[in-house]
Amino acid sequence: MLLLFIRERLAWLGFFIFILAILNILFALDIGLEDISTLYVNISLLISFTLFFVWRYIVEVGKLKDFLGNMENYLDEIHKSRLALLPFQEVYFRKMGAIFYEKKVELNQAKVQLQEYSDELLAWVHEVKAPLTAINLMLEHVEDLELRRKLENEWLRLHLLVDQQLHQTRLHSIEKDNYLTEVELKPIIYKEIRAMQAWCIEKGIGFDVDNLTETVLTDSKWLAFIVRQILSNAIKYSPADSEIIIWTEADATEAILLHIKDTGIGIASEDLPRIFQKSYTGIIGRESTQSTGMGLYLAYNVAQKLGIRIHVQSKIGEGSLFTLRFPLQNEYAKLTGR
């Protein structure tokens, strides 16, 4: 801060050195000033200027720190013309206050519009879910089994897209919409597998589920969404007549690990660091019109907010292994601040 203040006041220093040089030249040339001690005058001026410089540094830096610490209050006072300033400061700060106030109004308007858009989108999603439910009930009356399976498969894809949009809209307010409780993994996994039964039957994909007796502390609804995104990706990129393996174990810290392994096309090594980025589809995703790049992005962000870590291992042609690590009780305490 001191160096910055000195750089800002180089004009002062230059002017002082100039005046000091002029006085010393006059003392040297004017015979009438021979009796005056040049050293005394120089020391007196240097001490006086130094004291003045230090005083201005303390005053101005103190005001600056106070202003930065209470910037919003100061700008409001400036905008309302209730803050006493020097004429030059008044012009400078009033202009800055007007700009800040204008941007603040624009920001508030943008927040209101964004909230209105979010509310409208949520309302639309809920409206769409009603006819989707009705269509699902109608599918039970289709007698042609082959046609029914195809229709159920397409209905499931549409349902997953709507569900993904619903959770994406709610993501920013997940802190208000989660409830941490003891959750059994087995019912959640089985429910998500049953929901994708039509898709799995069409591709001939089976599941090998083992050792799902563990209970974790998390939000059941958001955990189901994470599992849903990972399973849908596994099914989408797995070859026909393949198998998805799901199991759990405890790591060295006794934290529960949930593994979901497929034998699909895998993920390229250059894509692995970016698969959780928004709208990133990767090399494989560019070859498929079904890939949106949103599923893993949403799953990762939800997991981050719940304290769940997602780790991925994958090789091209060998499939992928997604691992969910659920935090311990003390880690949840840090997460929730309890």
Beta bridge partners of 217: 182
pLDDT of residue 164: 86
pLDDT of residue 290: 57
Q: Is 204 left (phi over 0), alpha (psi -120 to 50) or beta?
A: left
Query: What does the pLDDT profile of the chain (338 residues) look like in tens digits?
Result: 778 778 888 888 899 899 989 888 888 887 777 777 888 888 998 999 999 988 888 887 776 676 666 666 655 655 555 455 556 666 766 777 778 788 888 999 998 988 888 888 888 888 888 888 888 888 888 888 888 888 888 888 888 888 888 888 888 777 777 788 889 999 999 999 998 888 898 889 999 998 788 899 889 999 999 999 999 989 988 888 899 999 999 888 888 999 999 988 888 888 888 888 887 776 655 555 556 678 888 999 999 888 899 999 998 888 999 999 998 766 665 655 55
Q: What is the 3-state secondary structure (H, E, C) of the chain?
A: CHHHHHHHCHHHHHHHHHHHHHHHHHHHHCHHHCCCCHHHHHHHHHHHHHHHHHHHHHHHHHHHHHHHHCHHHHHHHHHCCCCCCCHHHHHHHHHHHHHHHHHHHHHHHHHHHHHHHHHHHHHHHHHHHHHHHHHHHHHCCCCCHHHHHHHHHHHHHHHHHHHHHHHHHHHHHHHHCCCCEEEEHHHHHHHHHHHCHHHHHHHCCEEEEECCCCEEEECHHHHHHHHHHHHHHHHHHCCCCCEEEEEEEECCCCCEEEEEECCCCCCCCCCHHHCCCCCCCHHHHCCCCCCCCCHHHHHHHHHHHHCCEEEEEEECCCEEEEEEECCCHHHHHHHHCC
Q: Is 43 exposed, middle or buried (0-12, 13-18, 19+ CB in 10 A)?
A: exposed
Q: What size, in residues, is the chain?
A: 338
Locate 32 and state its tokens.
């009438």
pLDDT of residue 261: 94
pLDDT of residue 227: 94
Closest to 335 in 3D by CA, of 299, 295, 298, 303: 303
Q: Which residues contact 112 (CB under 8 A, 6 or more apart)?
A: none
pLDDT of residue 144: 85
